[in-house]
Structure 1
Amino acid sequence: MPSCGITLQIPGAAHYWLLNAQVPVSVVKDAVPGAAPNREGLVLLDLEIEAGRIAHIQAANGIPPQGIPSVDLRRGQVWPCFVDIHTHLDKGHVWPRTPNPDGTFAGAIRAEQEDWAKMERAYAGRHEKLWQDIYRRCDFGLRCSYAHGSQAVRTHLVCNGPHAQVSWEVFAQLRREWAGRLELQAVTLTHLDFFLTPAGEKLADKVAELGGILGGVAAMGPELDEQLERVFALAQERGLDLDFHTDETEDPGSLTLRHVAAATLRHEFSGQVVCGHCCSLAVQPPQVAHQTMALVKEAGIAVVSLPMCNLYLQDRRPGHTPRWRGVTLLHELKALGVPVMIASDNCRDPFHGFGDHDGLEVFREATRILHLDTPYGDWPQAITATPARRMGLVEAGQIGVGLSADLVLFKGRGFDELLSRPQHDRVVLRQGQPIDTALPDYAELDDLNAGADCSS
């Protein structure tokens, strides 16, 4: 059993109680009689765990059950495991070998292209070497995610260049290896004009074969609607969901989110549509932004904000203090009834030099950047229940009787305690049993960063 601040004296026990657990009421599946939330939206509960599932939930009464092991969490918070709906595993953990010298979005694109070119030169057609490079970095990210308490991850995979096929092969292998621990989904990441070509249709067939999601980067231009028509048609023909990068820019003239919403309505699209970033909404005139948001609501699109990455990239200019936070109008979208989410995005790559695939870090930084506090309300759903529903995971992201005991236990009681420290001593339960929460060592990747100064 891992060493942690909350001592579980029941390693291997199939039946036990977690007492005095503070749980965000918004992630509790059904109302619990006699349990009233406090001013922060936390409800004090006792949870019975049996055979890997939650057998019973009751209002905390301070009376340990007779004959059954129990652990008093002393009002520490308990969350369902995280659901990270927007990541880039195939790009991750290359910062030591390919940093972004100026931190800008344009610099990130140049550095990303440079890193792929480095791999192609270094491995010179040696498929296994390229495969191992991508596999090891993706697996490193997944091990971080799992140890921090995620139960599901959706990654976008670059689909241009000779490495694209390898990335999908790696993903298929990782999905097999992580089955039962992490639910993995993959989305195509390419410019939408690619889908106007025969190769784009073949890619859609491959995605359907692998059970993936169709998507890409929407960019303003005279062919955008034609590109969207083709992508939606390919998705409808194959029964695929869609996930787009939209308006990751501070240009108020960027309206790709509106175009995606209009295409969704034109096609009467019945699948799930997710749009990520949507940054330009925050710099548009209120009337323009509201028109787009109303269309998004009508189309049933869900929006995911990537607060850490967009804070890092947007409004960055040399010698200039950023004037805005890079994020979209999450409060306004939510007020209209649009499903809203937050996620990790890039980790230790040219688009974001930091990050550790930690759902709690995402929620903590989103709370600070987007003001998700006072009140916290149901914002915990943005990294749990809401992305779970959009990923088709009906039992994930919530706490309820009969559900798997996939939980994250924290010493932090109120949100002030939970979000003031990293909670490195958290306990992660999967099917009711604590997992090893030791994180992988960055040194594991040193040979992939050969030639870079990894000591700094």
Structure 2
Amino acid sequence: MAILTVPAAGNVWLRRAAIPAGTLDDTSSAHLGVPREGYLHDADLLIENGVVAAVEPAGTISDGVDLAGGIVWPCFVDMHTHLDKGHVVRRTPNPDGTFFGALTATGADRASFWTADDITARMDFGLRCAYAHGVSAIRTHLDSFGEQAEISWGVFRAMRDCWEGRIALQAVALVTIDQYEGAFGITLADIVERSSGILGAVTRLSGVDHGSIEEIDGLLDRLFLQARTRRLDVDLHVDETDDLAAFTLPRIAAAVERNDFQGRVTCGHCCNLALQTDDVATAAIEACARLGITIVTLPSANMYLQDRSGGRTPRWRGVTLAHELRQAGVAVAVATDNCRDPFVPYGDHDTLDSFRFALRVSHLDHPYGDWGGSICRVPATTMGLPGLGAIGAGRSADLVLTRARSFDELVSRPQSDRIVLRAGRPVDTTLPDYAELDYLAKAAPRATNGPSAA
């Protein structure tokens, strides 16, 4: 197949595109009908003045750019990241690859180095990577302990303004849930409200000890009270452990119901759901479906951290029950999570790479179905971004064009030759050089600043 080129200006038909099921808007999906092989719609796309002007069955026209069956995506939506932690792996590595090692190393790095300038530089690097890969929206969790909250949220607000029109940014407060017990919980909620953010927490107590599981209920009530009062959505880090007793997902569902919480609720990770007995897992999943809770699976992080012990091969995958959740009607998104930090020393802010990994790890195949929507339309809906995450007539032509003609081809190669269109025009996909960050290892430490979170 010839190297794919797209005109830099003017109107154009993109012929013989393959669009994954779950990535079209409802009107275009109905117009194209049943997808080929159950997961690909064959289509011709008309781009006019930066907008997808028409989505027609393949073969409708005979001129334009021939994509030869290459898969076309809407620009990706990554709804669970940690831009404030990213790219410190050379400065402060995880000593043993464990969850505890990640907590300790991150806490040390944050306490020593996280000035506004430091966070800004690393966040900007990560956003430039994401933009080049074709990401249109990101939700980042921000460590928000003590005085760090004002620093990190201030950086976030500035970055959101700076990147407006390129990447839509949202942020979530990340602390251990016991931080909502006292006055600081109110202070933090005020910061989040002022920043138009999302309230969040890790559903464990400070450190790695979950403490008394019953304590979580009252703390969840306090969190949901602050969120409800301020009309904030909630996004939680949930059950990143193989401890069956530390199972908080059903308690979160009960708190949503008990507090009559009407905002959007998202739960990331949910690792130990996969270790529960079938009846316990089914009950928790049914509660999530009934209450409209979105689940985010993060296999790149959980495969790295969960069940790790030196000199021993892990016995379980560490990922949540994606299939069972979807079958029950729960919205399931795939996201990247950490990038080149103590929690995950790898990654490049590439949501497509995370999907390729999730497809293999969680067996999102046989059939592929509409899992493609898990990195675009599903997270865009949860994040309240109706203009993003889907292909359809009248929508901005923000597209990612690949040469892969099937998911087996998509997964087999990294798609580093992808073309990214923003408003119908190709953008520079050159990635920033890691050498830009070499100075981080020589940065001078600052004063100590509080505990750590996931």
**TM bracket (short chain):** over 0.9
Match of 1:56 in 2: 54
> Percent sequence identity over matched residues?
51
Match of 1:26 among 16, 22, 37: 22
Match of 1:237 in 2: 229
SS in structure 2 of the partner of residue 225 of structure 1: helix
1:44 deviation in Å? 1.2
Between the aligned partners of 2:376 and 2:443, the Cα distance in structure 1 is 40
SS in structure 1 of the partner of residue 440 of structure 2: coil
Match of 2:258 among 244, 257, 266: 266
Match of 1:143 in 2: 128
| 1:186-197 → structure 2 map (5 Å cutoff) | 186-197=171-182
| 1:259-298 → structure 2 map (5 Å cutoff) | 259-298=251-290
Q: For structure 2, which runs of at least 5 residues remain unmatched after alignment?
A: 205-209, 445-454
Between 296-305 and 361-370, the greater mean CA deviation after superposition: 296-305
**2:153 is the alignment partner of 1:168:** yes
Match of 2:184 in 1: 199
Between the aligned partners of 1:287 and 1:356, the Cα distance in structure 2 is 38
Between the aligned partners of 1:188 and 1:92, the Cα distance in structure 2 is 16
SS in structure 2 of the partner of residue 363 of structure 1: helix
Match of 1:114 among 108, 128, 133: 108
Task: Report the aligned-residue RMSD.
Answer: 1.5
SS in structure 2 of the partner of residue 11 of structure 1: coil
Contact 2:44 2:61 in 1 (8 A): no
Contact 1:46 1:60 in 2 (8 A): yes
Match of 2:198 in 1: 213
Between the aligned partners of 2:12 and 2:142, the Cα distance in structure 1 is 41
User: Residues 37 and 330 from structure 1, CA distance in 2 versus in 1: closer, same or farther, beyond 3 angstroms?
Assistant: same
Match of 2:329 among 321, 325, 337: 337
Between the aligned partners of 1:236 and 1:390, the Cα distance in structure 2 is 17
Match of 1:105 in 2: 99
1:117 deviation in Å? 2.7
Match of 2:448 in 1: none
Match of 2:42 in 1: 44
1:64 deviation in Å? 2.6
List structure 1 segments (4+ residues) > 6 angstroms apart after TM superposition: none
SS in structure 1 of the partner of residue 56 of structure 2: strand
Q: TM-score, normalised by structure 1?
A: 0.93
Match of 1:349 in 2: 341
**2:388 is the alignment partner of 1:388:** no
Matching residue's letter, 1:365: F
Contact 1:32 1:58 in 2 (8 A): no
Aligned residue pairs: how many? Answer: 434
SS in structure 1 of the partner of residue 84 of structure 2: helix
Match of 1:398 among 379, 390, 403: 390
User: Residues 34 and 361 from structure 1, CA distance in 2 versus in 1: closer, same or farther, beyond 3 angstroms?
Assistant: closer
| 1:416-435 → structure 2 map (5 Å cutoff) | 416-435=408-427
Match of 2:66 among 30, 53, 72: 72
SS in structure 2 of the partner of residue 94 of structure 1: coil
1:208 deviation in Å? 0.9
Between the aligned partners of 1:211 and 1:163, the Cα distance in structure 2 is 18
User: Residues 142 and 285 from structure 1, CA distance in 2 versus in 1: closer, same or farther, beyond 3 angstroms?
Assistant: same
Between the aligned partners of 1:195 and 1:251, the Cα distance in structure 2 is 23
| 1:406-421 → structure 2 map (5 Å cutoff) | 406-421=398-413
Q: TM-score, normalised by structure 2?
A: 0.93
SS in structure 2 of the partner of residue 133 of structure 1: helix
Between the aligned partners of 1:418 and 1:246, the Cα distance in structure 2 is 30
